[in-house]
């Protein structure tokens, strides 16, 4: 695609972001690929400001969302993104599908592909399921929308996009002008249930790829073994680390993955690791707090804190559409066709 949005630089053509035909992991992207996704997403963020926030870029393409786990943000933002690109969208209601009759994952995705689907956006409780599906499909693109404890690549891209946007505003620059330089030396603190968090794994890969320094903290029981191999440090004192960080990424306790058994009680977890009103005063000036959602108010974050301007969870959700438009475009766009558009589709 030769993208010519109304404003802002847009790379020409579906970009060689290095991710191959699928988006399974942040590791598929690297620094250049992440930079490219963020810049293309900026162009689509501009499209979202139009009276008719829709472009013909993926007209004729079909995107299917296949979610074997619950979702609000990821599913709706992928579907909104695909619709804004003029793709047709199918959503498989897994619980009401033939999966309930015993159909296998392989037969399910091959059935979906046989309908002429161009991209499968897959969330699955099993780590590696999207990679396995990518080996089974013939021509469809596979996008990992979260697989078990493994990865959630588009969430990490949304987080980078949002952090860059905030830093650009702070210095009066455009995000694209900052490129990835704004991440150099950025201090990112990831807090909580790192053990069970696919978001944490993708964030670590993404932030490190663009030059940030990443530390984690949380109860020892919720920090995975082998962290030293991930290139992150472990902050022993949460209260102290809050003053160190430029970005604090809060994680939800993953109750559905048994996290409750790893802490004595929710009250003790909050006392030790919750971002309370007292703790928020320890944040460094200008620090930003991210949360991938869903937030559990009163556990990892106090309800009043969740509504502070420095907590950008709602902004992350809004940015999710532009970022997912970007990855869909980069995977499905035709080199010769379409533009980001000069009007409604």
- Write out the residues near ligand CP by the rule CB under 6 A: 71-75, 146, 152, 155, 292-294
Q: What is the dihedral of CA 139, 145, 150, 151, to 10 degrees?
A: 100
Specify whether the CB–CB gap between 330 and 17 falls below 8 A.
Answer: yes
Please identify, using beta-carbon distances, which residue of 31 and 73 lies nearer to ligand CP: 73
Degrees to nearest 5, angle at CA 57 with 75 and 144? 30
Minimum distance, C-beta of residue 205 to ligand CP, in the bound complex (Å): 16
Q: Tell me whether residue 155 or residue 208 sits nearer to ligand CP (CB atom).
A: 155
The nearer residue to ligand CP, 73 or 315, going by C-beta atoms, is: 73
Number of Cβ within 10 Å of residue 32's Cβ equals 15
Cβ nearer to ligand CP, comparing 294 with 344:
294
Q: How far is the CB of 317 from ligand CP (least distance, A)?
A: 8
Quote the CA–CA distance of 278 and 62 in Å, as a whole number. 49
Which distant-in-sequence residues (6+ apart) come within 8 Å of 161 by Cβ?
A: 37, 38, 41, 175, 319, 322, 323
| Distance in Å, CB of 314 to ligand CP, minimum | 12
Cα-based angle 251, 157, 311 (whole degrees, multiple of 5): 45
Residue 7 CB, nearest distance to ligand CP (Å)?
29
Q: 54 or 73, CB closer to ligand CP?
A: 73
Nearer to ligand CP by C-beta: 153 or 341?
153
DSSP 128-196: THHHHHHHH-SS-EEEEEEETTTB-HHHHHHHHHHHHHHHHHHHT--HHHHTTGGGTT-EEEEES--TT
Please, what is the minimum distance in Å from the beta carbon of residue 151 to ligand CP? Answer: 11
CB 26 to ligand CP: min, Å: 14
Under a CB-based contact definition with an 8 Å cutoff, are residues 210 and 34 in contact? yes
What does 32-46 look like in DSSP terms, one character per residue?
Answer: HHHHHHHHHHHHHHH
Residue whose CB is less far from ligand CP, 157 or 182: 157
Provide the minimum distance between the beta carbon of 249 and ligand CP in the complex, in angstroms, as a whole number: 12
């Amino acid at each position: 695609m030769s993208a010519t949005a109304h404003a802002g630089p847009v790379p020409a053509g579906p970009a060689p972001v290095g991710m191959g035909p699928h988006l399974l992991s942040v590791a598929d992207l690297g620094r250049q690929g992440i930079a490219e996704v963020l810049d293309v997403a900026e162009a689509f963020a501009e499209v979202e400001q139009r009276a008719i926030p829709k472009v013909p870029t993926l007209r004729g393409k079909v995107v299917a969302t296949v979610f074997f786990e619950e979702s609000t943000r990821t599913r709706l933002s992928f579907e909104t993104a695909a619709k804004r690109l003029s793709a047709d969208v199918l959503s498989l209601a897994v619980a009401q599908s033939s999966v309930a009759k015993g159909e296998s994952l392989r037969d399910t995705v091959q059935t979906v592909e046989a309908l002429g689907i161009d991209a499968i956006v897959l969330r699955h409780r099993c780590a590696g399921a999207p990679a396995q599906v990518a080996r089974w499909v013939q021509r469809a693109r596979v996008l990992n929308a979260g697989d078990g404890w493994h990865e959630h690549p588009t969430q990490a891209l949304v987080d980078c996009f949002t952090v860059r946007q905030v830093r650009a505003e702070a210095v009066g620059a455009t995000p694209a002008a900052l490129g990835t330089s704004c991440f150099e030396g950025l201090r990112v603190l990831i807090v909580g249930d790192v053990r069970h968090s696919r978001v944490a794994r993708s964030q670590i890969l993404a932030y490190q790829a663009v030059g940030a320094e990443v530390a984690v903290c949380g109860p020892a029981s919720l920090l995975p073994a082998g962290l030293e191999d991930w290139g992150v440090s472990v902050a022993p004192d949460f209260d102290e680390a809050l003053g160190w960080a430029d970005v604090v990424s809060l994680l939800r306790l993953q109750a559905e993955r048994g996290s409750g058994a790893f802490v004595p009680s929710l009250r003790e977890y909050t006392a030790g690791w919750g971002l309370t009103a007292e703790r928020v005063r320890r944040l460094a000036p200008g620090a930003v707090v991210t949360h991938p959602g869903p937030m559990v108010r009163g556990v990892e974050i106090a309800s009043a804190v969740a509504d502070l301007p420095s907590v950008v969870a709602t902004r992350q959700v809004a940015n999710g559409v532009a970022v997912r438009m970007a990855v869909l475009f980069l995977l499905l766009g035709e080199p010769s066709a379409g533009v980001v558009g000069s009007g409604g589709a």
